[in-house]
A and B are shown apart, each in its own frame.
Chain A
Amino acid sequence: MTTTLSVENLRVSIPLSAGVLHAVRGISFEVARGETLCLVGESGCGKSLTSLALMNLLPSRAKREADRISFDGADLLKLGERGMAKVRGNTMAMIFQEPMTSLNPAYTIGNQLEEGIRLHKNVSAKEARERAIYLLEKVGITAAASRLGQYPHQLSGGLRQRVMIAMALMCGPDLLICDEPTTALDVTIQAQILHLIKDLQREFDMAVILITHDLGVVARVADRVAVMYAGEIIESGVVGEIFSRPTHPYTQGLMNCIPVPGKTRQGERLGTIPGIVPSMIGEMTGCAFANRCAYAQDICLQPLTTHDIVPGHAVRCARAEEVLALTAGSNQAGTIQSGSPA
């Protein structure tokens, strides 16, 4: 597999009146052609800003820094706004969380589908239209040709998200970024959309970054997982490894929050993670999770690094091995202060 995107030490900061908010604090990851990377974390952990940073679509007051963002062999940091515009929607495409508001109400579906490809590729209006019909059919929209003349308000949320996916695929991107693509949809539609993304990924051989807070989604689609907490990736690895051996106490806590058929007994309390996310304003030394962690010791307040516990499974926890040993055998029902009602 060839690496499509490789990010090193990405940081996003937002100056506020109370100080500088470091929303993303030096994260590194890569994703290869045909592979799905899931960025998981609770709201406010910086996962959405990460995706916007890749596209360079951050709000104007947010500042993006990184050592390197290499995409298809080029360094995105060195591209100007013009160069970036050539990448956006062309080789790197994105799907957003809110299908209801992500389409312009003033223009037809066809118009909005075709404008990107007319811009990036040297195609005729007819070819653009044919491509649009082809992709609308691909994403499972019937009577595709007649849909082109419809306006967004005439479509349901599920259909609109399918249109958004088709729109993202118009130019045949190498990387598709999906920012919570199913959060705003009904549960039954969610599964269909996830299937669709997975199928299309195989068919078009794309790299996919999927951002979600839902571990169920991760289990369904991910090849690799990166768990984010307070702007950092605190654990990453192959999906099977993360689910079978969650090591970081935060990941363990997350796993405890979902019921597992056959394992979670009826009437048993699901886990919660006590405490709140620390303020992300200003610098932070040591482990960001320390104030909520049952295993926290003095060492956790020292500067720490991410290290592999087995090749390909990296954890940002000073006591990873000890935690793993302590929780071995009961990984799914970790001993982290589970179930204390708040």
Chain B
Amino acid sequence: MSIMTPTAPTAEVILAPTPGQILRRRIFGHRGIVIGGGIFFVIVLMALFAPLIAPYDPYHQDLIARMAPPVWQDRGTWEHILGTDQVGRDYLSRLIYGARISLLIGIMAALISGIIGTVMGVAAGYFGGKVDLVVTFLITCRLSLPVILVSLAVVAIVGGSLEMVILVLGLLLWDRYAVVMRSSTQQIRSLDYVAAAQAAGCSTWYILAREILPNVMNQLIVVATLEFAHAVLLEAALSFLGLGVQPPLPSWGLMISEGRNYILFDPWLIAIPGSALFLLLLAVNLLGDGVRDVTVPENRA
């Protein structure tokens, strides 16, 4: 580069991309986000348009066509691409409808626990003092209760159903939200612009809504993806153990559980729903990591 004129010293500044452009470039340049987002998008489409895509009714049993192998195996046919299960239900159709259950539970549980945890964390971080003490204590108590054991016990006592699983997970998974929101709120609260807003006489609600929340949004999104994945995983585990979503709903965890008896000769019965579960979790984790990567300031990857 050579300096052409003694004037126009700000040329570089003007040509610099806007923050929005930088963010967009970073998002689409991030392999994790592109791959994770792609997989997630496909699974969401699958769930949304399940009735259109699924070749069969996922609940329709056909005992004559039971245990048909998937198409890539010797006796496999294109009639049932992924084969059929032990009562002759089309495995592909169940897989497609299963996406609905996983996504529904993930989103609802992440939402419920997100509201609880964010309220607690932001309150603790913003007000400090006694509020902080109480919230920290609650977080510690919650952390010492093992999630799987508690949810298993609750579901066993109250009875398993889709709604119950969502509720139990939603009421249990708020701890990480609270921890993260508390510390990021504390950080932002100590910054000058919050003090400035207070000095200007803004109400607490206004400050929380306009100064604090927008600035903890990135972390909130990252935690939400983590807890989404956590809830999906726990639902699958609960259903696998027989204490989650109840048959005949096509939950992926339940499909693995049902296929478990045939593990010796027909491992695809567990390999297929397990792979779907793995892909969904992988996609969401990649998205979460990606969001964290692209929202941290440059040079701090």
Instruction: Give 5 pairs: A residue, B residue, CB < 8 Å, sorted on A.
Output: A275-B9, A276-B13, A278-B9, A291-B3, A301-B3
Which B residues are CB-close (under 8 A) to A268? Answer: none
Interface of B toward A, CB cutoff 8 Å? 1-10, 12-13
Q: Which residue of A lies closest to B6 (CB)?
A: A296
* In the complex, A192 has a CB within 8 A of chain B: no
* In the complex, A290 has a CB within 8 A of chain B: yes
> What DSSP secondary structure best describes chain B's contact surface?
loop
Stretch at the interface among A1-9, A95-103, A280-288: A280-288
**Contact across chains for B9 and A276 when beta carbons are under 8 A apart:** yes
Q: Which residue of A lies closest to B1 (CB)?
A: A282
Taking the closest CB of chain B, its distance from the CB of A61, in whole angstroms, is 11
Query: How far is A278 from B4 in the complex, measured between Cα atoms in Å?
Result: 11
Query: How far is A105 from B2 in the complex, measured between Cα atoms in Å?
Result: 47
Query: How far is A281 from B1 in the complex, measured between Cα atoms in Å?
Result: 8
Query: How far is A282 from B1 in the complex, measured between Cα atoms in Å?
Result: 6
Which B residues are CB-close (under 8 A) to A288? Answer: 3
**Contact across chains for A290 and B1 when beta carbons are under 8 A apart:** no
Q: Report, nearest first, the 10 A-B pairs whose CB atoms are least far apart.
A: A275-B9, A296-B6, A282-B1, A285-B2, A291-B3, A291-B9, A276-B9, A290-B3, A279-B12, A291-B6
Of B3, B5, B9, B10, chain A has the most CB atoms within 10 Å of the CB of B3
**Contact across chains for A284 and B6 when beta carbons are under 8 A apart:** no
Which B residues are CB-close (under 8 A) to A286? Answer: 2-3
Taking the closest CB of chain A, its distance from the CB of B160, in whole angstroms, is 50
Of B2, B4, B12, chain A has the most CB atoms within 10 Å of the CB of B2
For residues 97 through 135 of chain A, which have their beta carbon under 8 Å from a beta carbon of chain B?
none
Query: How far is A296 from B12 in the complex, measured between Cα atoms in Å?
Result: 20
Partner pick for B2 among A275, A276, A292, A301, CB 8 A cutoff: A301
Which B residues are CB-close (under 8 A) to A242? Answer: none
Which B residues are CB-close (under 8 A) to A291? Answer: 3, 5-9
Which A residues are CB-close (under 8 A) to B6? Answer: 290-293, 296, 300
Which A residues are CB-close (under 8 A) to B5? Answer: 291
Which A residues are CB-close (under 8 A) to B9? Answer: 274-276, 278, 291-292
Chain A residues with a Cβ closer than 8 Å to the other chain, count: 20
**Contact across chains for A279 and B10 when beta carbons are under 8 A apart:** no
Q: Given contacts A282-B1, A285-B2, A290-B6, could you give 18 more A-B pairs where the C-beta distance is less than 8 Å? A: A275-B9, A276-B10, A276-B13, A278-B3, A279-B1, A283-B2, A284-B2, A284-B3, A287-B3, A290-B3, A291-B3, A291-B7, A292-B6, A292-B9, A296-B6, A300-B6, A301-B3, A301-B4
Query: How far is A45 from B6 in the complex, measured between Cα atoms in Å?
Result: 19
Which A residues are CB-close (under 8 A) to B2? Answer: 283-286, 301
Q: Which residue of B lies closest to A283 (CB)?
A: B1
Q: Which residue of B lies closest to A276 (CB)?
A: B9
Q: Which residue of B lies closest to A288 (CB)?
A: B3
Taking the closest CB of chain B, its distance from the CB of A339, in whole angstroms, is 18
Which B residues are CB-close (under 8 A) to A301? Answer: 2-4
Which A residues are CB-close (under 8 A) to B7? Answer: 291
Q: Which residue of A lies closest to B13 (CB)?
A: A276
Query: How far is A283 from B3 in the complex, measured between Cα atoms in Å?
Result: 10
Q: Which residue of B lies closest to A285 (CB)?
A: B2
Query: How far is A27 from B2 in the complex, measured between Cα atoms in Å?
Result: 19
For residues 269 through 320 of chain A, which have their beta carbon under 8 Å from a beta carbon of chain B?
274-276, 278-279, 281-288, 290-293, 296, 300-301
Which A residues are CB-close (under 8 A) to B13? Answer: 276
Which B residues are CB-close (under 8 A) to A283? Answer: 1-2
Taking the closest CB of chain A, its distance from the CB of B16, in whole angstroms, is 10
Q: Which residue of B lies closest to A294 (CB)?
A: B6
Taking the closest CB of chain A, its distance from the CB of B5, in whole angstroms, is 7
Taking the closest CB of chain B, its distance from the CB of A284, in whole angstroms, is 6
Q: Which residue of A lies closest to B2 (CB)?
A: A285
Taking the closest CB of chain A, its distance from the CB of B45, in whole angstroms, is 34
Of B1, B5, B7, B12, chain A has the most CB atoms within 10 Å of the CB of B1
Query: How far is A333 from B10 in the complex, measured between Cα atoms in Å?
Result: 27
Query: How far is A206 from B92 in the complex, measured between Cα atoms in Å?
Result: 80
Taking the closest CB of chain B, its distance from the CB of A273, in whole angstroms, is 11
Query: How far is A269 from B13 in the complex, measured between Cα atoms in Å?
Result: 27
Q: Which residue of B lies closest to A281 (CB)?
A: B1
Taking the closest CB of chain A, its distance from the CB of B301, in whole angstroms, is 12
Which B residues are CB-close (under 8 A) to A281? Answer: 1
Which B residues are CB-close (under 8 A) to A278? Answer: 1, 3, 9
Query: How far is A293 from B6 in the complex, measured between Cα atoms in Å?
Result: 7
Which B residues are CB-close (under 8 A) to A287? Answer: 3
Which B residues are CB-close (under 8 A) to A275? Answer: 9
Taking the closest CB of chain B, its distance from the CB of A52, in whole angstroms, is 17
Query: How far is A282 from B2 in the complex, measured between Cα atoms in Å?
Result: 9
Query: How far is A301 from B1 in the complex, measured between Cα atoms in Å?
Result: 12
Which B residues are CB-close (under 8 A) to A300? Answer: 6
